[in-house]
Amino acid sequence: MSVTLVTGGSGFVGRHLVAELSRRGVAVRTTVRAPTEFGPGVDVRVVGDLASHGELDSLLHGVDCVLHLAARAHVTEDRADDNYELYRISNEVLTDRLAQAAAANGVQRFILMSTIKVFGEVDRGRPFAVADAPVPVDAYGRSKLAAERALWARCAAGTLAGVVVRSPLVYGPGVRANFLRLMRLVDREVPLPLASVHNRRSLVSTDNLVDLLCRCREQAAAAGGTFLVSDGEDLSTPELMGKVARAMRRRARLYGVPPAVLRLAGRLLGRSGEVARLIGSLSLDLAATRSTLGWNPPLTVDEGLQKTVDRYLGGRS
């Protein structure tokens, strides 16, 4: 039986992906840093730091498809983008080594989880299309673009078929980091100065992202392609907070402050990056993904947010 390898299986997206592949009857092997419980039938390999793991061949024995999610994640504090070398090793170098080993072991398809941040931090007045030139501005985005290029170089040298999926902010049941902080603020009905923000941002639920990753594994048309993914409905920050509030049966307490004042406050407080993400636009055009793969997001934004909020409220009580 052919095996699908999921790297980073204990991560936020990885757990959802492993569960869905297993539900679909796929034989799954996954790498984790520390012992982790999965459902029955999952072949779990504890490898510590995969970037320094020396036995990639054994991980790839019998594997026909790699879904590469393991990476150094984007860290949102402004000061966290200084050390590019850490991102380069975890993202670019690991992808290159794993793709090389995959090709040598007869793996047919290698799907790389990438990011909207290869395009930059702000769109150009319209949603980014897959053909737009990438211009990453932080260490994370630059390292993920380098990982994409490393994969394509390995594919060009042999029979390995590559696929790249560029994702925006991912949310879903069990989400943490900034999205969890947003839910806590809405839950507490904290007044926030965001009513005058009129941006557009793409985001994607774990259900929709995992569904597209599975489609990229299954469809021949995906081979050699780069695909953008989102929920298919871009939201302003106030719209997002309003939807989260309705899912919680809370009130979003927003008041208006000019965006220029918010940017100035961000600079003065050393939180420019965080403010930029709250008030700037960063969206994706799914036309090529829809036409090439015949894919549409199976969940609406409201459905994805309700599932996320329900898990949050259940864990809080």
With tokens 């864990």, the residue in question is 315
CA-based radius of gyration for the chain: 20
For residue 255, with 0-12 CB atoms within 10 Å meaning exposed, 13-18 middle and 19 or more buried, which class applies?
Answer: exposed
Options 84, 87, 140, 312, the catalytic residue: 140
Is 140 among the residues known to form the active site?
yes
Length of the chain equals: 317
Residue 68 region by backbone torsions, left for phi larger than 0, else alpha for psi between -120 and 50, else beta: beta
CA distance 301 to 169: 13
Are the CB atoms for 197 and 235 separated by under 8 Å? no
Rounded Cα gap, residues 121 and 115, in angstroms: 11
* φ, ψ (nearest 5 deg) of residue 153: -65, -40
Pick the closest to residue 144 from 99, 114, 110 (CA basis). 114
Tell me which H or E stretch contains 32. strand 28-32
**Strand, helix or coil at 171?**
strand
Helix%, strand%, coil% for the chain, nearest 5: 45, 15, 40
Q: Which of 33, 50, 40 is nearest to 18 (CA)?
A: 40
- Per-position DSSP letters for 199-253, written without gaps between them: --B-EEEHHHHHHHHHHHHH-GGGTT-EEE---S--B-HHHHHHHHHHHHT----
Residue 182: CA atoms inside 13 Å, Cβ hemisphere, count? 25
Residues acting as catalytic residues = 140
